[in-house]
Amino acid sequence: NHTRPDTACGPEAVGGCYRDVFDESVVMSTYLVAFAILPLDYGSLTREVPTKYGSVKTLEKQNVAEVITHEIAHQWFGNIVTMTWWDDLWLNEAFATFTQFIGVDVYNPTWNMMDRCYVEFVMNALQTDSMLHSHPIIMAGVSDPSEIESLFDDISYFKGSSLIRMLEGVIGRRVLKEGLMIYLNRFAWRNAASKDLFEAFSEAYRKINQNSGAHSNSPAENLTRVMDTWTTQVNYPLVTVRISGNRLHFRQERFLLYPNGTQIWESHQTNHVPDRQNPEPMWTWLDLEESKTVELDHTPAFVKINLNQTGLYRCNYEFSNWQQLVKLSRQGYFGSTDMAGLLNDAFTLAYIGRLNISVPFDLFETLEEDRLDSGTPWTISMRKISELQPLMAQDQQSAEKLVKLIFKILFDQGQIRQTDAITIAVKFARRSGALDLVWTHFTRNWDQLLKIYGHMPFLMSDITKFPADYYTEFDYERTREFFETHSLTSGKRNAYQSLESIRANIAWIKHNMESFKTFIKNKVIE
């Protein structure tokens, strides 16, 4: 929080942003200079295919910017104020993770960093904390060095930053900033605990809102009580909402990928209920209640809770409401983050048997790139579909039909840019273990691929490099025959490199298999 640089762009913009956020905190006694030392990538010097999902060069820049802004944030969260003990590690790491996205978003708004929050840490938090053997954010009684080291994990970083994001959604950035100023100045060069932070936020909330209007008697006035259920309990809730006339019936339960046990949270829902007279979403608090009924002044056609996915919980609805959400998605009703949340919840609920598998795929088919401001929904979809690999392995025929469906959406329906479609297809093949199915589909639709990518040398090269991981004589012969009888345009060199790689893989197995077996037999204890 030294003097702000005059320039408003480049790396200095991050410092300017942090100066704005932390302007009223104590002045630091040192300057921080950050350097990033990277390996020289000759390919990235000349090649950068611009896509919504980012080239290698762009992603590298984003990663460097995130690391730098994360470490700069530790000047406040860790240096000026340090947690009292390791059980509050999240006070350091979660805030540094959350503010790194704010800083990088100022540095380059075109990267859509605030939208990426959902993929980068909210989705990871939801996945990691859905296990019975997770742990609370605040680990009371931790003392062993190995236990302390284990706290540097997804819960401290990602669940913690997700809670801050949720808190900002409830109290607003103005109150969040004011609360941070109270916290940083009150505990400057000292130690603090989670309750100190929450008390500072509550104080800021009362100061700014003055207990008036909609803010009167709000649970946000006592955030220590509210946040205790989120920081001292393991896991998070699944909130199910059902429409009955003009009433909304809410029910919360502990979410686990493999259910076991119950807990209750004090939580809020931002309910997106269609109302022509009042288009603003309404708020509902579950005050340590397992269920709650809210009466409206109209009968809603549908309900969507957790607007902008600010809450750290999963959502479920009646099947008829899911169908309405699919219909609205087809009309472009939802933004990227809400679409990502709907897809993530739908695929996950189908995974545990709480929703028909048709729903997430119906949502997936509605994706159209031109209506979305980022690639987040596509990223979520590919990750979740890749998790179907165990099902695909059990039913080859269904797996082939799934690949056809994905490729129809990517290549036939004009819903996504051509440069992005091939990138998504390749990532799907690698993650899902469906390399052979995808390559087979490529070969059967080669004329279509040539028509689309024949004039794009980099992408055509990516396609012809695809079979390089094969390792049998059968795969070599069929790939060689295919390449020799089809036009390869600018991918010809990579095609022959793929054949060489297959030959090398075959030779590696031939020369090393017996010695490898002997080595393993001698090393592994039965």
Kindly report, residue by residue over 277-311, the tens digit of the pLDDT. 555 677 888 877 889 999 998 899 999 999 889 99
pTM for the whole structure? 0.80
Model confidence at 24: pLDDT above 70: no
Higher pLDDT, 373 or 235: 235
What's the confidence (pLDDT) of residue 287?
Answer: 76
DSSP string of 87-155, one letter each residue: GGTHHHHHHHHHHHHHHHHHH-GGG-HHHHHIIIIIHHHHHHTTSTT---SS-TT--SHHHHHHTSSHI
Residue of 32, 30, 106, 115 whose CA lies nearest to 65:
106
Instruction: Supply the DSSP symbol for 53.
Output: T
Cβ atoms of 226 and 195 within 8 Å: the answer is: no
Instruction: Supply the DSSP symbol for 159.
Output: I
Side-chain-side CA neighbours of 85 within 13 Å: the count stands at: 11
> What is the chain's length?
526
Query: Sorting pLDDT into bands at 50, 70 and 90, what band is 2?
Result: very low
- Phi–psi pair at 17, nearest 5 degrees: -65, -50
Higher pLDDT, 148 or 57: 148
Model confidence at 378: pLDDT above 70: yes
Residues of the chain with CATH 1.10.390.10: 12-189
Model confidence at 217: pLDDT above 50: yes
Residue of 349, 129, 132, 126 whose CA lies nearest to 261:
132
Question: Whole-angstrom Cα distance, residue 361 to residue 385?
Answer: 9
Instruction: Supply the DSSP symbol for 357.
Output: T
- Tell me what the mean pLDDT of segment 17-26 comes to: 60
Higher pLDDT, 202 or 17: 202
* 3-class secondary-structure state, position 255: strand
Model confidence at 224: pLDDT above 50: yes
Cβ atoms of 226 and 159 within 8 Å: the answer is: no
- When the pLDDT of each residue in the chain is averaged and rounded to a whole number, the result is 82
Question: Whole-angstrom Cα distance, residue 197 to residue 117?
Answer: 22
Percent of the chain with pLDDT over 70: 81
Model confidence at 373: pLDDT above 60: yes
What's the confidence (pLDDT) of residue 96?
Answer: 92
Query: Sorting pLDDT into bands at 50, 70 and 90, what band is 267?
Result: low
What's the confidence (pLDDT) of residue 28?
Answer: 58
The strand pairing partners of 242, in sequence order, are 249
Higher pLDDT, 50 or 340: 340
Model confidence at 261: pLDDT above 90: no
What's the confidence (pLDDT) of residue 277?
Answer: 52
What's the confidence (pLDDT) of residue 438?
Answer: 86
Q: Which residues contact 479 (CB under 8 A, 6 or more apart)?
A: 467, 470, 498, 499, 502
Query: Sorting pLDDT into bands at 50, 70 and 90, what band is 455?
Result: confident
E strand or H helix at 304: strand 304-305
Domain 12-189 is found in CATH 1.10.390.10: yes
Question: Whole-angstrom Cα distance, residue 340 to residue 343?
Answer: 5
Cβ atoms of 236 and 255 within 8 Å: the answer is: yes
- Pairing outcome for strands 314-317 and 304-305: unpaired
400 in catalytic set: no
What's the confidence (pLDDT) of residue 426?
Answer: 78
Catalytic residue among 60, 71, 369, 387: 71
Residue matched to tokens 């409401």 = 321
Question: Whole-angstrom Cα distance, residue 186 to residue 193?
Answer: 12
Tens of pLDDT, residue by residue over 459-506, are 788 888 889 989 999 999 999 999 999 999 888 888 999 999 999 999
The strand pairing partners of 190, in sequence order, are 81
What's the confidence (pLDDT) of residue 275?
Answer: 55
What's the confidence (pLDDT) of residue 278?
Answer: 54
What's the confidence (pLDDT) of residue 123?
Answer: 92
- Range scoring the smallest mean pLDDT among 55-59, 71-75, 255-259: 55-59
What's the confidence (pLDDT) of residue 11?
Answer: 45
* 3-class secondary-structure state, position 432: helix
The strand pairing partners of 248, in sequence order, are 243, 294
Q: Where are the beta strands (DSSP E) in 393-462?
A: none
Residue matched to tokens 């896991």 = 235
What's the confidence (pLDDT) of residue 43?
Answer: 34
- Pairing outcome for strands 247-255 and 291-295: antiparallel
Tens of pLDDT, residue by residue over 66-85, are 888 888 889 899 999 999 99
Higher pLDDT, 373 or 501: 501
* 3-class secondary-structure state, position 197: helix
Cβ atoms of 62 and 104 within 8 Å: the answer is: yes
Query: Sorting pLDDT into bands at 50, 70 and 90, what band is 9?
Result: very low
Model confidence at 524: pLDDT above 60: no
- Tell me what the mean pLDDT of segment 387-402 comes to: 81
- Tell me what the mean pLDDT of segment 144-167 comes to: 91
What's the confidence (pLDDT) of residue 276?
Answer: 47
What's the confidence (pLDDT) of residue 258?
Answer: 81
What's the confidence (pLDDT) of residue 42?
Answer: 31
